[in-house]
Amino acid sequence: MLQKLAAQLTRSLSPGGLSTCRHLSGGVGLPKSGGGDGVGVDDGGISKEFGKNDHPVIKEGNGGRSNGKLGTFSGLTPDFPCIVGNPSSGPEPTYASVPKNSYRLFEYPDTFCLELNSGRLPGFKLAYETWGSLNPDASNSILLCTGLSASSHARSHPLNPAKGWWESFIGPGCALDTDKFFIICANLLGSCFGSSGPSSVNPETGDPYATTFPVVSVTDLVRSQFLLLDQLGIQRLHAAVGSSLGGMLSLASAVEFPDRVNRLISISSASYSHPTSIAMRYLQRKAIMTDPHWRSGRYYGSDYPKTGMKLAREIATLTYRSGPEWETRFGRRRLNPAAPQAVSLCPTFVIEQYLDYQGEASSVRLDPNSLLYLSKAMDLFDAEDQLDRVICPAMILGVQSDILFPVEQQRQLAQRLRDIGRCRRVTYFELTSLYGHDTFLLDVHNVGTAVKGFLETEHA
């Protein structure tokens, strides 16, 4: 019996026996001749091209040959173009190239004390842009509060014709109607698009602040913007409007300055950060801070921490959209459906390539240190015990598919404001969009209609 088994094993290990692994559908063994698409034979054995050029070549390793004879092992050659093709630093970040003549600059000359760690800044700058015209009594102004990664460029204008991040929501007849309102959008303190932040030069040292920049809170961000409003001669806002981190800012505006905000709109946001959101942002910060090029935040003028920033933005992309949308857009579609058995450790599925693309594209659009500081501000935000200070009409808008700010948080916020009873009116909208957290950027009809209606309705 043993001799018979040995003979069968010998036959299975012969070149003819290994030509097809019959227990696998379609077979992935050594072809006897050149095969179909992407498959060929060279002097080293088998070479299977997997998909496009950014995928590795699968070859029989040296372990598959012994003294020129076919052995029992056939594995991957450890070549990974999906890693090698992504440089660990560079190119030059695009956030540093925003034209300075495309925004206005507010400069606060005095010492600015921050909420945490007894932090102080020797003054600061805020980049801001405006649309529409301020009426004689300055009562038609709307403060548009940005998300974590946005600049002040919410809509195109003659000084900067590039489309803004809320382009379709601002303009004549739009949700923020420039025929009726004066719109102000400021880049956040701690950001990198003209406002003071880690990448700015500390006037006392002549070097970039880097991670010596003090930790900022949502309250600090709001206070700095209201100093800008003072400079513009605006004592009372028609509304504070914001989404995501911007929604925290609009809520905090009504908490910190209840007598200066006529109404607030908070979209896909909350009165505190959910533990899942904190965990997701922690992973983004860790990805950046463990990149060797981060150098404790002192990478300015040196190698940019590209690998960590790219991974952080890929993680962020997961939180911005929804599972149902991924299923609809990508499902389990493969990059190389013609060769389902040609698998490497690099991306196999279209969704993986999409994340890689998004991470690559956005990795140089925001200063990594700014992401660290502003994401931390989001995690620390908790206005639950201060909601009794909100007295203006409020509109809270949630999205059922949002995983970054679960819709239950918007329901709770609206109900808390109603239960406290100090708001003159609380309006709640809930959307069923597939787009998850990014609905506030994409759903012009539903989000825009709700915003426009609330802004233009008289509230008793």
CATH assignment of the domain containing 219: 3.40.50.1820
The answer to whether residues 136 and 160 belong to one domain is yes
Residue pair 244/374 in contact by the 8 Å Cβ criterion: no
Span 357-368, pLDDT tens digits: 999 999 999 999
Shared domain check, 404 and 369: no
Choosing from 244, 322, 362, 433, the catalytic residue is 244
Share above pLDDT 90 across residues of the chain, in percent, rounded to a whole number:
75
Q: Which domain range does residue 226 map to? A: 104-271+383-456
Give the Å distances, CA to CA, from 286 to 272, 292, 375. 21, 12, 12
- CATH number, domain of 324, equals 1.10.1740.110
Residue 369 has a CB neighbour count (10 Å cut-off) of: 26
Residue 362 shares a structural domain with residue 249: no
Q: Residue 264 contacts by C-beta under 8 Å, 6 or more apart in sequence? A: 239, 240, 241, 250, 251, 253, 254, 390, 392, 393, 394, 395
Q: What is the pLDDT of residue 460?
A: 63
Residue 44 has pLDDT above 70, yes or no: no
Which of 67-71, 195-199, 270-274, 282-286 is the least confident region?
67-71
In a domain, 28, yes or no: no
Strand-pairing partners, residue 272, are 382
308 shares a domain with 228 = no
Q: Which of 356, 367, 402, 438 is catalytic?
A: 402
The contacts found for 73-76 with CB under 8 angstroms, 24 or more apart, are 74/29, 74/30, 74/46, 76/344, 76/345
**So what's the pLDDT on residue 58?**
41
User: Is the pLDDT at 176 greater than 90, yes or no?
Assistant: yes
In a domain, 320, yes or no: yes
Instruction: Flag whether pLDDT at 289 surpasses 80.
Output: yes
Is residue 413 a part of any domain in this protein? Answer: yes
- Residue 380 confidence class, pLDDT cut points 50, 70, 90: very high
User: Cα 370 from chain centroid?
Assistant: 12
Reported as a single tens digit per residue, the pLDDT across 198-251 is 999 999 999 999 999 999 999 999 999 999 999 999 999 999 999 999 999 999
Look up 402 and say whether it is catalytic: yes
| 311 within a domain of the structure (yes/no) | yes
- The arithmetic mean of pLDDT across residues 322-340, rounded, is 92
Residues 6+ apart with CB under 8 A from 17: 11
Q: What is the mean pLDDT of residues 38-64?
A: 37
DSSP bridge pairs for 426: 394
Q: Are residues 254 and 330 in the same domain?
A: no
80 in a domain, yes or no? no
Mean pLDDT of 325-331: 94
Evaluate if residue 22 carries a pLDDT over 60: no
Q: Is residue 170 part of a domain?
A: yes
Average pLDDT over the chain, rounded to an integer: 86
- Number of residues written out for the chain: 460
User: How many CA atoms does the CB half-sphere of 322 hold within 13 Å?
Assistant: 19
Exposed e or buried b per residue across 234-260, where buried means at least 16 C-beta atoms within 10 angstroms of its C-beta: beebbbbbbbbbbbbbbbbbbbbbeeb
Same domain, 175 and 201: yes
User: What integer is the mean pLDDT of 46-75?
Assistant: 49
Rounded (10°) angle between helices 245-256 and 368-380 = 50
Residue 204 near residue 212 (C-beta atoms within 8 A): no
Q: Would you call 437 a catalytic residue per the annotation?
A: yes
Q: What is the sign, positive or negative, of the torsion defined by CA atoms of 394, 397, 403, 407?
A: positive
Pair 177, 229 in one domain: yes
pLDDT of residue 75: 82
Q: Work out the angle between the directed axes of helices 306-320 and 350-362 (0-180°, nearest 10).
A: 120
- 117 and 214, same domain (yes or no): yes
128-173: pLDDT as tens digits: 999 999 999 999 999 999 999 999 999 999 999 999 999 999 999 9
Return the higher-pLDDT residue of 5 and 347.
Answer: 347
| Residue 55 annotated in active site | no
Statement: residue 437 has pLDDT above 50: yes
250 and 304 assigned to the same domain: no
Q: Which residues, including other chains, have CB under 8 Å from residue 24's CB and lie 6 or more apart?
A: 341
Q: Distance between CA atoms of 29 and 421, rounded to whole angstroms? A: 72
The verdict on residue 35 lying in a domain is no
Average pLDDT, integer, range 316-323: 94
Q: pLDDT-based confidence at 443, cuts 50/70/90? A: very high
The one catalytic residue among 55, 238, 293, 437: 437
57-59 sheet: strands from edge to edge: 39-42, 45-49, 57-59
- Residues 116 and 233 both lie in one domain: yes
Residue 375: name the closest of 232, 195, 224, 218 by CA: 218
The answer to whether 153 and 159 are in contact (CB under 8 A) is: no
Q: Are residues 362 and 397 in the same domain?
A: no
Where does a domain end: 319, 354, 374? 374
User: How many structural domains does the chain have?
Assistant: 2
73-77, 184-188, 251-255: the lowest-pLDDT one: 73-77
Distance CA 1, CA 74 (A): 29
Tokens of 121: 């800044």
Asked whether residue 244 falls in the same domain as residue 363, the answer is no
